[in-house]
With several copies, the nearest count.
Chain A
Amino acid sequence: MDKVYPDVDSVIADIPDGASIAIAGFFTAGTPIPLIQGLARQGAKDLTLICMQMGPGNEDIAQLFMNGQVKKAICNYPFYRSASRGANSPVEKAVRNGEVEMEVYPMGTFTEKLRAAGAGIAAFYTPTGVGTVVEGGKEKRKFGNREYLLETALKPDYSFVYAQKGDRMGNLTCHKTARNYNPEMAAAGKITIAAVENLVEIGEIDGDTVHIPGIYVQRVVKVDRPNYFPTID
Chain B
Amino acid sequence: MVDTVKKFKGLSRELIALRIANELEDGSYVNLGIGIPTLVSDWIEGRDIVLQAELGMLNTGPLASREDVEQDLINASCQPVTELPGSSYFSENESFAMIRGGYMDVAVLGALQVSEKGDLAGWSNPERGLPEEIGNIGGSMDLAVGARKVIIAMMHTTNDGDYKIRKECTYPLTAQGVVDLIVTDLAVIEVTKKGLLLREVAPGVSAEDVQSVTEPELIVSRDLQEIQL
Contacts and interface: CB of A to CB of B under 8 A. Distances in A.
A contacting B, Cβ–Cβ less than 8 Å: yes
Interface of A: 1, 26-30, 57, 76-79, 81, 83, 86, 92, 95-96, 102, 104-109, 111-112, 114-115, 117-121, 126-134, 136, 164, 167, 169, 171, 174-184, 187, 202-203, 205, 207-208, 210-211, 213-216, 227-232
Contacts of A207: 57, 59, 83, 86-89
A128 B135 CA distance: 16
A112 B141 CA distance: 14
A140 to B, nearest CB: 12
Contacts of A208: 89
A112 B96 CA distance: 8
B48 A182 contact: no
A202 B136 CA distance: 36
B78 A76 contact: no
Contact of B101 (A104, A105, A119): A119
27 contacts: A26-B74, A28-B78, A77-B138, A78-B134, A79-B135, A106-B137, A106-B142, A107-B142, A108-B139, A109-B142, A117-B101, A119-B98, A120-B146, A126-B100, A132-B174, A169-B50, A176-B73, A180-B92, A181-B93, A187-B101, A203-B85, A207-B88, A214-B50, A214-B86, A214-B88, A230-B71, A230-B79
Interface residues of B, number: 69
B29 interface: yes
Contacts of B129: 96
B172 A132 contact: yes
Contact of B98 (A107, A126, A210, A215): A215
Contact of B74 (A102, A120, A177, A210): A177
Nearest to B98: A215
A121 B73 contact: no
Given A26-B76, A171-B88, 17 more contacts: A28-B71, A29-B71, A76-B136, A77-B136, A79-B130, A95-B130, A132-B173, A171-B86, A176-B73, A180-B56, A180-B91, A182-B91, A207-B86, A208-B89, A213-B88, A215-B29, A215-B98
